[in-house]
Chain A
Amino acid sequence: MRQVLARAIGGVAIIGLIAGAAACNSSSSSDDTASSGNCGYKLAFFGALTGSAANLGVNIEQGFELAIEQYNKAKGSTCIEVAKFDSQGEASVAPGVARSLVADKKILGIVGPPFSGESEAADPIFESAGIPTITPSATRVSLASKGWKTFHRAVANDDAQGPAAAAYIKDNLKAQKVFVADDQSAYGAGLADVVKSTLGALVVNTDKTEGDGKQADFSALVQKVQSSGATALFYGGYYTNAGIIRKQLTAAGWKGTLVGGDGMKDPGLSKASGVAAAVGTVVTCPCSPPEAAGGTFVNDYKAKWNQDAGTYSDVAFDAANVFLQGIDAGNTTPEKLNTYLSTVNYKGIANTYKFTATGELDPTLIKVWAFKFDSSGDAKSDVEIKTS
């Protein structure tokens, strides 16, 4: 508690210092930006570029960067600059990185943070700086109810994903006994709680693991899953732990199906577990399959990054374009851009984007898909799950 207090006070002090310094800067030096055509500004990516869940962050950053590159090409100059901030996906690292982000006064908008835990740590800093954010993947429900004016979510939250995962377990897998575990992260625990309450009596037992990078031996969990007789294990967590768990479950002879949320939707899972063990693992995602994205996105992405578009690459691409459209229309301060987002109705390649007053995606636009790991070692689209 004392540590939290000390951090909070330290955080406030640093924000104060930065704000003070920034105020000094803007008063003493004349601004050289405001050039013609609403150029000379920056859009930022904030999220994991390194760290245990970096793959998810990199997918998003690359979609984001592609959108800006295409915009700049159309403008014929480096109109909008890309700024990248590596949070390592860690809630403990994010605030410091966020403070260095808000110190850059040319940044008008942020795509990110991708994860719920780092969002809880960093979004208050963006909120107090007034910079609008669009997260393409942080799905914890409570993020939208903190009263943040700058928060926007371009995908459905766990309230949509949890019931969908539960529906899949019940209707598609037809499991009679389900084991539910999570990694105690903001994201994983939130998702697992929704699944638990939706499945009700089908849940035979539960457990919690430690977070990514904090546990490698899951033999106790494996033993509990085996002895519970469950034919499906829902794990609220990320691909890092899920890959190890799947491997140790298979090694112990458990033949059931591992089901998880979008945090597990990454080839990193099968790289740890081995493809043979990963085959059949189901992940839900409030996204459409990237390969189904409209326009030339799939080919453009492949040409630029020499790899296929990953989870949320398309949503990040759209999120960047939402910002770019706003800037193009003359919203060249963070405040104006934020106001613009409250009225936006943008048809992108993955979805159409319209935000509610709390920054959630309009409920009529929500999509949840199930993806299944196949022998390629990646999760391929299975079915769209009907939740309503």
Chain B
Amino acid sequence: MDFSGLIDNFGPLTVTGLAQGAIIALFALGYTLVYGVLRLINFAHSEVFLMGTYACLIVWGFFGLDQNSAAPGVGGMLLYLVIGLVVAIIASGVTALAVELVAYRPLRRRNAPPLAFLITAIGASLFISELTGVLTHRNQRGVPPIIQAKPLFTIGDTTVTNLQLLIILLALVMMFALDRFINGSRLGRGIRAVSQNPDSAALMGVNKSRVIALVFLLGGLMAGIAAVMYDLKIGVTRYDAGFLLGIDAFAAAVLGGIGNLRGALLGGLLLGVLQNYAAGLFGSQWLHAASFVLLVVILLFRPTGLLGESLGRARA
């Protein structure tokens, strides 16, 4: 074990871990939202994210930007960032809705058993991922440097860059907005009602199908934002990017308490930081192994996750 590797780099590892964790958290929201309402793990959510990572690359490509472009000025940066976010959100949202309409809704109409949903979820996930793989020849694609990482301020020996700050702030803001939406709006009340008891909600006049579609859409929106942040932070995407990060995001959702929005945020940030600490202490090859061992340990003591399952139980 390399204790000096962890201690000497503690600050920087924490900051980069938080940034990675923020992306995982936004991604995890999709799992948590759908689970909270349908008690279904939407494995195709990783491909909802994947579509976002490619959509913004494609639209940046229309502007003539590729991995070799020079970084744009501040105006261009903001413009491209907003355009990229909008397009990625649309792409991810549409993918999420399409998966719900094509893969899940027909099964729900026929009252299929839960296992059938699980298999279609995995099937939809593999189909989209492999299709992307074939279309891109399984090559990875570099991201244009929309945001040039620049040191913003320094705490002790830890430098925080503009990109890291943007990712973390954006995740927090989106989290807050989503939380307000679910707990404060009319549509949000519908979501909570279906989550608590679908049949009663339907009797009270809540359109269940519309609520379910809304939940998929919301998850897709968050995944779209996560996708743009991922592109900017990692700098590369490829057909299995969603699968890779999807495991982390799913774990984060479970860690925080699946079905619990704030839990997803906590779980994501925690997992991101823990992975970096594990990489510092044991070497990067233990990144996933160590963090997942810890996940199991935490679940042993808190089987419902750190904050418990609570999308439905949140106060009106």
Contact = CB atoms under 8 A, between A and B. Distances in A.
Interface string B66-92: 011000000000000000000000000
Nearest to B140: A272
B173 interface: no
Interface of A: 50-52, 54-55, 181, 184, 205, 207-210, 213-224, 226-227, 240, 243-244, 247-248, 251-253, 268, 271-276, 377
Given A54-B137, A216-B236, A223-B9, A276 B285 contact: no
Given A222-B16, A243-B236, A271-B67, 5 more contacts: A54-B139, A55-B139, A205-B5, A220-B287, A224-B9
16 contacts: A52-B138, A209-B284, A215-B287, A216-B245, A217-B20, A223-B12, A223-B13, A223-B16, A227-B9, A240-B140, A244-B140, A248-B234, A268-B140, A271-B142, A273-B235, A275-B68
Contacts of A210: 284-285, 287-288
Contact of B149 (A205, A223, A251, A273): A251
A273 B287 contact: no
A220 B13 contact: yes
Interface string B146-173: 0001010000000000000000000000
A204 to B, nearest CB: 12
A222 B9 CA distance: 11
A220 B149 contact: no
B199 interface: no
Contacts of B276: 219-220
A178 to B, nearest CB: 17
Contacts of A214: 244
A51 B17 CA distance: 29
Interface residues of B, number: 39
Nearest to A240: B140
Contacts, number: 116
Interface string B219-242: 000000000000001111010110
Q: Which 5 residue pairs are nearest across A and B when measured between Cβ atoms?
A: A220-B279, A219-B16, A208-B285, A274-B67, A247-B235
B141 interface: yes
A37 to B, nearest CB: 38
B236 A268 contact: no
A252 B68 contact: no
A271 B141 contact: yes
Which of B16, B140, B234 is packed against the most chain A CB atoms within 10 Å?
A: B140
B145 interface: yes
Contacts of A220: 9, 13, 16, 275-276, 279-280, 284, 287
A141 B209 CA distance: 61
Which of A55, A209, A224 is packed against the most chain B CB atoms within 10 Å?
A: A224
A219 B67 contact: no
Contact of B234 (A217, A253, A276): A217
B283 A207 contact: yes
Given A220-B13, A275-B68, A252 B20 contact: no
A276 B142 contact: no
A216 B241 contact: yes
A342 to B, nearest CB: 38
Contacts of B284: 181, 207-210, 215, 218, 220-221
Contacts of B245: 216
A183 to B, nearest CB: 9
